[in-house]
């Protein structure tokens, strides 16, 4: 025990000497003082971007009253969303890990087309390139679908550990013909909650696929995030057709 005390005291003295040297040296003549951050009053937690996306999707599902379905093919740096959402089956969340990217997005389209869910598909730039045809189908079907693109660097399969924000033009124009889709992007890890919630609101209320853009740094970065109150979140109105319009006939299965 005395031996450990000798070592610990030596380390403490070295730290104190280093602190005193930095405090007294005149190597740097300019000093800066970082003021305490001005933050709204409330309860906070540390949150990463992909965690905020998960919570935003669940919040949108609860506010809309529609169960959440996620079709996904794991890929860095988007996989955490699949991992996290799989933990929330108690909120009616259904997650599906497909055999490839095309199967992932078409499973989400099928679930949305059935009318009982609003759906998500997650991937990164290389996966989005494989999904252009299916995204066009979702636009034609006028179904609620969120295409989540956690961007990474490089063309083709790209660089899994290098982040970029290089897929904007792909999001705008990466489909055939007249195929517009709303695009919502996040600016910080905490902002991912609000941005994905807004993407869900637009998707459900206007019956259209929406692209959500984040990136590797935002996905894996963290910041203090204030817990929102459910009453303060915008309403998500869901309307189902309950009767036939004039001239329409009920179709009966053979």
pLDDT in tens, 103-147: 999 999 999 888 767 777 777 888 888 889 999 999 999 999 999
List the structure tokens of 69.
């379905």
- pLDDT in the model for residue 144: 92
**φ/ψ (deg, to 5) at 64:** -85, -20
d(CA 22, CA 124): 45
Q: In terms of pLDDT, which residue wins out, 53 or 126?
A: 53
181-240: per-residue pLDDT in tens?
999 999 999 999 999 999 999 999 999 999 999 999 999 999 999 999 999 999 998 887
List the structure tokens of 193: 């909650």
The model's pTM: 0.82
Pairing of strands 222-226, 44-48: antiparallel
Per the model's pLDDT, the better-predicted residue between 157 and 111 turns out to be 111
Q: How many helices (H) and strands (E) does the chain have?
A: 9, 8
Among 121, 132, 124, 129, which Cα is nearest to 150's? 124
Assess whether pLDDT exceeds 80 at residue 253. no
The whole-number pLDDT of residue 4 equals 73
- The structure tokens listed for 200 are 């869900």
Q: In what order do the strands lie in the sheet with 209-215?
A: 94-97, 68-72, 118-123, 145-151, 209-215, 183-185
Q: Which two tokens stand for residue 131?
A: 């999904």
Q: How confident is the model over 86-104, as pLDDT tens digits?
A: 999 999 899 999 999 999 9
For position 93, what pLDDT does the model report?
Answer: 93
Query: For residue 254, is pLDDT > 80?
Result: no
Say how far apart CA 74 and CA 56 lie, in whole Å.
20
Spell out a b/e string for 116-126, using b for 16 or more CB atoms within 10 Å of the CB, else e. ebbbbbbbbbb
Instruction: List phi, psi (to 5°) of 45.
Output: -145, 160
Out of 3.40.630.30, 3.40.50.970, 3.40.50.620, 3.40.1280.10, select the CATH number for domain 44-232: 3.40.50.970
């Amino acid at each position: 025990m005395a031996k450990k005390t000798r070592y610990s005291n030596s380390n403490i003295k070295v730290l104190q000497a280093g602190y005193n040297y930095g405090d007294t040296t005149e190597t740097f003549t300019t000093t800066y003082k970082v003021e305490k951050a001005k933050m709204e009053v409330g309860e906070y937690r540390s949150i990463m971007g992909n965690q905020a996306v998960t919570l935003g999707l669940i919040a949108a599902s609860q506010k809309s009253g529609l169960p959440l379905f996620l079709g996904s093919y794991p890929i860095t740096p988007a996989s955490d969303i699949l991992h996290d959402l799989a933990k929330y089956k108690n909120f009616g969340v259904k997650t599906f890990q497909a055999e490839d990217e095309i199967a992932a997005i078409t499973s989400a389209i099928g679930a949305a087309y059935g009318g009982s869910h609003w759906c998500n598909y997650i991937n990164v730039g290389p996966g989005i390139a494989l999904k252009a045809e299916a995204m066009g189908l979702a636009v034609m079907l006028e179904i609620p679908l969120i295409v989540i693109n956690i961007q990474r660097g490089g063309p083709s399969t790209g660089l899994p550990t290098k982040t970029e924000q290089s897929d904007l033009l792909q999001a705008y124009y990466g489909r055939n013909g007249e195929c517009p889709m709303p695009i919502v992007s996040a600016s910080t890890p905490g902002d991912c909650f609000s941005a994905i919630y807004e993407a869900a609101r637009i998707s459900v209320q206007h019956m259209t696929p929406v692209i959500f853009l984040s990136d590797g740094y935002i996905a894996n970065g963290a910041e203090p995030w204030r817990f929102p109150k459910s009453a303060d979140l915008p309403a998500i109105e869901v309307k189902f057709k309950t009767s036939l319009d004039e001239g329409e006939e009920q179709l009966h299965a053979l």
